[in-house]
A and B are shown apart, each in its own frame.
Chain A
Amino acid sequence: MSTTFQIWRGDKGSGAFKEYQTDVAEGMVVLDAVLQIQAEQAFDLAVRWNCKAGKCGSCSAEVNGQPRLMCMTRMNQLPAGEAVTIEPMRAFPHIRDLVTDVSWNFAVKKRITPFTPRPPDAPDGTWRIAQEDVDRVQEFRKCIECFLCQDVCHVLRDHRLHDRFVGPRFLIYAAALEMHPLDNENRIADLREAGGIGYCNITKCCTKVCPESITITDNGIIPLKERVVDEFYDPVRKLLRVFRS
């Protein structure tokens, strides 16, 4: 079946949607169609991809306005008989066609205090951890760094507060470290100040677009917000800390 695709073509933010027609067969995903168009009609179409299995996080784009992995969006999930729009992520600098520069994310990650384990539990330098204590952070470790959550977050996408807010990806990265049973570091003050956790207004858009179905807001961001309240906004807790110290 022939399907119409409107693909964003252009460099560094300038450009326009260009229309292509290609045949779509049963079982195809959006990335298949894009690669078919690249092979048959648009040899210079820039698209980043790698594993085609939803694990590398390379082929992030906006399909019909929704941030998605192209390799995990089956054609039969999209409205039949309608043109499919594909455009690059809007929250990052545009390079060309469907490719954006996501290096800001790697710079942010370097600024988060790394895992700092307590001294080993055993003389051989090993630790003992209860499974139920690490269960909670396992969910966050599923992240493939596709940055779709960063793309859909309106604080970055619309308000462009990249200099003040680390975004949902790095809030759950920090949550995975902060909630780890072996970790001794306290990142709460950093999350409040440099991390800008207060900018999150809990729209849950990040959770909705996560291809790994990580419950980013409920299990990651809100628990961190509560830890910030513990340290900075709960007068009773503050008083108890004074008495305890």
Chain B
Amino acid sequence: MQPIPLTMAPGRFGATTRRDAWWLAPLGVFFALSAFIVYSTWAALQGANYSFGPYLSPMYSPELFGDSPHALFGPRPGWWPALLPFSPAILVLWAPGGFRLTCYYYRGAYYKAFWADPPSCAVGEPRSSYWGERSFPLILQNVHRYFLYLALVFIVFLSYDVWRALWFENPATGEVSFGLGVGTLVLALNTTLLGGYTFSCHSLRHLIGGGIDLLSKKPARMAGYHCVSCLNRHHMLWAWTSLVWVGFSDFYVRMCAMGVWTDVRIF
């Protein structure tokens, strides 16, 4: 293809004749994502107050190694370098983090909010050079489907955490009984929202049937494709609600563990 001679000069950074508050959405994304990154990094590095009774913070799940009763393989491993800070969250949080980082929705959102590429639709950009997702480093975004596979495994673990959050131990007798606490509901909603986000993924939509042109010959995959497509229409909503709630779920468990909040047993 040949370049074409454009005669209208490109706009300077921020130049636009738009009358609406175009800066509001990218600014909101910038502050919301920044707040989450700061909180989740802080929470992940604490390595304490991440479990309370049958509850386990979703930022620490699955707890591979750790001090809580939820740990799958016992306490901190001996091979962990002494110089590195240890937290069970560090071992697992990179996977859901990578899933969100490479998510098609978040990519569009943070390119605008953090890199102004573009700041908003039909608004001038700060840079003239542009590589897109064709070359390093952004070509790595194509790894998204592998993070999806990991995210699906995490949904299994989070569902198991909700199951465990239904069984309460009597501290006096050690007897375990079925029950429901506010924390159970918090964790159940968290898994539901994360499930909605994961199952509405564009890559899953492609893998389950989007890549097939003759779907009518594969009725099971066609049904799956329609289900994922239905969820996918609200992928942005799933992305934000699940992000906020996973942060709140960690905060809830942390507050209970620190004795600041009291978990109310419904029955």
A-side residues, CB < 8 A to B, are 12-14, 62, 64-67, 79, 82, 85, 87-88, 90-94, 104, 107-108, 111, 130, 132-133, 152, 154-155, 157-166, 178-181, 183, 194, 196, 198-205, 208-209, 217-218, 222-223, 225-230, 233-234
B122 partner, pick from A13, A132, A157, A223, beta carbons under 8 A: A157
A-B contact pairs, 10 of them (CB 8 A): A133-B215, A158-B128, A159-B130, A181-B214, A198-B134, A198-B139, A201-B132, A202-B108, A208-B121, A223-B202
A181 and B232 CA atoms in complex are apart in Å by: 23
Known interface pairs A133-B215, A226-B206; A162-B133 also in contact (CB < 8 Å): no
Selected interface stretch from B4-12, B35-43, B175-183, B237-245: B4-12
Q: Is the interface of B mostly helix, strand, loop or mixed?
A: loop
What are the residues of chain B within 8 A of A225 when measuring CB–CB? 104
Asked whether, in the complex, the Cβ of A158 is within 8 Å of the Cβ of B121, the reply is: no
A-B pair count, CB < 8 Å, reads 166
In the complex, are the beta carbons of B134 and A64 less than 8 A apart? no
Hey, which chain A residues are within 8 Å of B11, CB to CB?
90, 158
Residues 209-239 of chain B, each 1 if its beta carbon lies under 8 Å from chain A, else 0: 0110111100000100000000011010000
> Which A residue sits closest to B124, measured CB to CB?
A158
The answer for the CA separation of A64 and B16 in the assembled complex, in Å, is 9
Which of B129, B132, B145 sits near A198, CB closer than 8 Å? B132
List 6 additional contacts besides A180-B213, A196-B134, A222-B104; criterion CB under 8 Å.
Answer: A132-B222, A160-B6, A165-B132, A183-B213, A194-B1, A218-B232
A200 to B141 CA separation, bound complex (whole angstroms): 12
Task: Determine the chain B residues whose CB is within 8 A of the CB of A163 once the complex forms.
Answer: 1-4
In the bound complex, how far is the Cα of B5 from the Cα of A194, in angstroms?
19
Complex CA–CA separation, A178 to B8 (angstroms): 34
CA–CA, A202 to B205, complex, Å? 17
Known A-B contacts A157-B122, A159-B128; the reply to A203 vs B112 at CB < 8 A is yes
